[in-house]
Every structure is written in C-alpha cells, then in structure tokens.
C-alpha cells in the first residue's frame, strides 16, 4: 500500500524508536510484506525464518528485533517488538486507507438509543432502543445491536455481528416438550473490545452477558447467554462458549474450541485449537484435545494411544 511520503525519522519518533541520523530524512511511501516490497516501502521482520526474504527484499527500511544481524541493503530499525511497532505504525496510517466517519443514512437507529457523537455507525446497521454506544466505537455494516445492549468506548464491532440476540434457554416438561425461557437480561461490552464479523453474543436470561475490557474475539464465534469473559483475552475463529461459563483474564483460546456451560476458566489459560473443554480449568494451565487435558498429559496419552496400534 502506498501513502503520502513520510520521513523515516518522523515514523520512528512517535514509536519511540531510534533512527540513525543519516537515515532520518529517508522518505517512506508505503508499507508491504518483505516479498512484495519495492523501494520506498517499510516492512518488518519478527521471525528469523523469514531472514532470507529480508536479505532479498527491495524495501527501504525494515523493523527488526534488537540485535538482529542480516545482510540487507534496507535500513534496519531495531526495536523490542517489530510486529507490534509495525502494527502501531499501521494504526497511524489507518485513516488514509480506511476512512470512517459519522452515521450512515441507511442505518436503522431507534430514537431512544444513546450514541456518542464520535461513534461510527455503518450502512444497514440496526441499533435498537435502550442501547448505549460509547465514544469512538465502530459498528460495522449490517451489524445488529439489540435492545438493552451497552457498548463501551473504542470498541470495534465488525460486519454482521449480532449483539443481544436471545439466549438459548428452554426447559423440558415431563412429556419431553421444551418450553422457552424468556431472556430478560442484556449484553455489556467494555472498552477496547474487538468483535469479528458474524460473531454473536447472546443476552442473558437474567443479569448480563459480559465481555471484559480489551478482549479480542475473531470472526464466527458464539458467546452464549450469561457468559462472563474477563479482560484482555483473545478468542480465535469458530469458537463457542456455552451458557454461564466464566473466563478469566489474559487467556488465549484457539480456533474451533468448544467450551461447555457452567465452567470456570482461570487466568492466563491457553487452549489449543479444536479442543473440547468439559471441566473447570485452573489458572496458568495449557490444555489440548477433546476432551481437553493438560498439554503434557495429552501428549503422553496420545503417544500411548499410537503405540497401541502397532
């Protein structure tokens, strides 16, 4: 992607990176991958398995980890975390590439909704009554924020997301017929949360389904009624969390993970992709498999299973 020319010195200054004086006036006119870069582009190298690409790239500058030694004609800007610094630079450029502003005329917004004037509501979004949306929050195209939902500040809700849909609650009678349980609660989404396209977050039967500050949820995830997710978690695509489960802070949940209802997941838990979680998980554990086991236990069990087939 190309952009208006910026000197390398001006790029480095807000990122708190040292730019050698002799390169401070070098003009950067774009960002690109190492493979696709041309003269004027800025790239990053965070994984040394791509060092050969960095040595061949035509880029003008590369963010690299402090102490990296490669033979490249590009200017190497050392930093603690090249990927993060590059991401922060992209955020500064975002307004040029993806301008967002105002409320689309095709959005359907209930008069009773309370929307901060700095929030952005995209085309065909639906905002129902008794909804609150905080400052600098983005609501994507076709997203639906249903009655009673409370959305904080600097929240990013992508296209097709549904917040506040009815929770899946049914009670069987003696004859085996299921009767709908009214879902009278709401959804609360705290500040700096990101929710990917076509994810759904159901409202609570009573009380609130809650997504904690800074949590990032990928596309096509399902968060059921009365789930409480803590702060600064990441949940990858196609994962589902069943009703009334609580998840702590700083957890990492891989793609296609399924977590049954009424569980307690601690802090700093890592769950590998495609795991099926059927029991409570204490803090600081890494689990894998279906049913999910502590990672080391799973590997030993799988090795024993393979030996049985010989």
- By annotation, the residues acting in catalysis are 225
Spatial distance between the Cα atoms of 149 and 164, rounded to a whole number of angstroms: 6
Strand partners, 208: 186
Q: Are 210 and 191 in contact (CB under 8 A)?
A: no
Q: In sequence order, which ranges of 42-106 are alpha helices (DSSP H)?
A: 51-56, 82-97
Q: What token pair was written down for 286? A: 């890494």
Query: At CA 138, angle to CA 268 and CA 84, rounded to 5?
Result: 45
In sequence order, which residues have a C-beta less than 8 Å from that of residue 4 and are 6 or more positions away? Answer: 29, 96
Torsion sign over Cα 243, 219, 86, 92:
negative
């Amino acid at each position: 992607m190309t952009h208006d020319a910026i000197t390398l010195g001006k790029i480095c200054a807000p990122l708190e990176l040292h730019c050698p004086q002799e390169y401070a006036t070098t003009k950067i006119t774009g960002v690109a991958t190492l493979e696709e870069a041309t003269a004027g582009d800025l790239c990053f190298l965070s994984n040394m398995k791509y060092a050969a690409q960095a040595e061949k790239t035509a880029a003008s500058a590369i963010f690299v980890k402090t102490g990296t030694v490669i033979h490249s004609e590009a200017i190497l800007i050392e930093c603690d975390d090249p990927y993060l610094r590059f991401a922060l630079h992209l955020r500064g450029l975002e307004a040029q590439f993806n301008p967002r502003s105002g409320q689309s005329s095709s959005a359907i917004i209930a008069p009773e909704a309370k929307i901060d004037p700095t929030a952005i509501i995209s085309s065909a979004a639906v905002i129902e009554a008794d909804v609150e949306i905080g400052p600098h929050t983005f609501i994507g195209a076709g997203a639906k924020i249903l009655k009673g939902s409370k959305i904080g500040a600097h929240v990013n809700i992508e296209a097709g997301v549904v917040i506040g849909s009815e929770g899946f609650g049914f009670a069987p009678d003696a004859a085996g017929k299921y009767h709908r349980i009214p879902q009278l609660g709401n959804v609360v989404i705290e500040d700096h949360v990101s929710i990917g396209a076509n994810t759904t977050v159901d409202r609570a039967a009573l009380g609130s389904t809650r997504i904690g500050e800074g949590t990032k949820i990928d596309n096509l995830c399902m968060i059921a009624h009365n789930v409480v997710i803590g702060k600064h978690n990441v949940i990858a695509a196609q994962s589902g969390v069943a009703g009334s489960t609580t998840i702590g802070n700083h957890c990492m949940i891989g793609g296609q993970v399924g977590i049954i209802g009424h569980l307690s997941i601690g802090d700093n838990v890592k769950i590998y992709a495609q795991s099926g979680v059927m029991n409570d998980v204490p803090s600081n554990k890494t689990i894998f498999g279906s049913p999910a086991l502590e990672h080391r236990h799973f590997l030993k069990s799988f090795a024993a299973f393979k030996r049985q087939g010989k």
